[in-house]
Amino acid sequence: MPSPLDNHTPAEIDPATGHPRREFKARGSFVERCEGCNLPVLNCLCPYKVTAESEAQVWLLTHRIEHYKPTNTGRLIGDVLAQTEVFTWHRTEPDARLLALLADERFAPFVVFPDDQPDYADRVVSIDAVTQAKASGKTPVYILIDGTWRQARRIFRKSPYLDALPVLPLRTERETRYRLRKPASKAHLCTAEVAAELLRQGGDVDAADVLDDYFDAFNASYAASRKYHKIKTPTDAMQRLLARQPTQ
Ligand SMILES: [Zn+2]
């Protein structure tokens, strides 16, 4: 019979006590997560995953730390819109694939960013530019910078390949519904909300509706799991997503 200690390599024994060293656990890591959606299994998101079609595309320029945060909402966009591209931002070495896509004439990329600084005022466009791009046969692309506010500013300022692109600020009265991180202001939307709102304003209403519902399902599932609460009756958003599932 192997003793319980056989599971531990010598490196895991605390030399001070001779006992197995306790693993360091990050906050929340005691929760068992689903391999499919990375949410706590208590309220897994997988049953609600549905795809939608959109004319416009979303490309995410993601700060590397953001990839590891289970509360990240940028990843929800790729679940819904299959054409979504995700690039990890590196200050010194831009992603070669991103550079190639930016040079591709089929796309009309817009970098989504507030127009609160005067030095790039000449690059600022409205959502009408997205409609015009569609009319000219191009695929509009919303480039979303996914990170904290500080990280986003840095990425916007330190990425020369973004300097030539039109800047599209999101104009909306919508307030955030995100419950997993405390926003500095209700006007600060999370990444999935920004994408949904841009899609809606740019005419991709169906994709916007699905992404909004999927974000709501994520939000409700995660918030409930944090309180060890099992959602028994699907929310309205969840029910709309279930109704979209292809019948077996
Ligand atoms: Zn899952």
pLDDT digits (tens, 9 = 90+) for 191-213: 999 999 999 999 999 999 999 99
**Amino acid symbol at 210:** V
For residue 242, give every residue at least 6 positions away whose Cβ sits within 8 Å of its Cβ, in sequence order, or none: 47, 48, 234
Q: What percentage of the chain reaches a pLDDT higher than 70?
A: 88
**pLDDT, position 182:** 81
* C-alpha to C-alpha distance for 194 and 74, rounded to whole angstroms: 10
C-alpha pair distances (Å), 214 with each of 5, 79, 80, 152, 206: 45, 9, 8, 24, 12
Distance 73 CA to ligand 1 centre (A): 15
Torsion sign, CA atoms 102, 200, 198, 245: negative
> Which one is predicted more confidently, 22 or 223?
223
DSSP class of 175: -
**pLDDT, position 187:** 85
To which H or E segment does residue 155 belong?
A: helix 149-157
Distance 204 CA to ligand 1 centre (A): 27
pLDDT higher than threshold 60 for residue 67: yes
Distance 36 CA to ligand 1 centre (A): 4
Average pLDDT over residues 156-170: 96
CA atoms within 13 A on the CB side of 152: 15
To which H or E segment does residue 194 belong?
A: helix 191-201
Shortest CA distance to 142 belongs to which of 60, 78, 66? Answer: 60
Asked if 167 contacts 110 with a C-beta cutoff of 8 angstroms, the reply is: yes
Distance 47 CA to ligand 1 centre (A): 7
pLDDT higher than threshold 90 for residue 37: yes
> Lowest mean pLDDT: which of 10-24, 33-47, 143-157?
10-24
Asked if 168 contacts 125 with a C-beta cutoff of 8 angstroms, the reply is: yes
DSSP per-residue string spanning 55-114 = SSEEEEEE-GGGGG-TT--HHHHHHH-TT-EEEE--SSS--HHHHHHHT-TTEEEEEE--
To which H or E segment does residue 152 belong?
A: helix 149-157
> Which one is predicted more confidently, 185 or 6?
185
Asked if 181 contacts 73 with a C-beta cutoff of 8 angstroms, the reply is: no
**pLDDT, position 9:** 39
For residue 84, give every residue at least 6 positions away whose Cβ sits within 8 Å of its Cβ, in sequence order, or none: 57, 58, 59, 60, 77, 78
**pLDDT, position 131:** 96
Distance 175 CA to ligand 1 centre (A): 27
Distance 152 CA to ligand 1 centre (A): 29
pLDDT higher than threshold 70 for residue 239: yes
Shortest CA distance to 217 belongs to which of 202, 200, 196, 199? Answer: 196
Per-residue pLDDT of 4-36, as tens digits, reads 333 333 445 545 555 555 444 445 555 789 999
Shortest CA distance to 57 belongs to which of 230, 211, 224? Answer: 211
pLDDT higher than threshold 60 for residue 82: yes
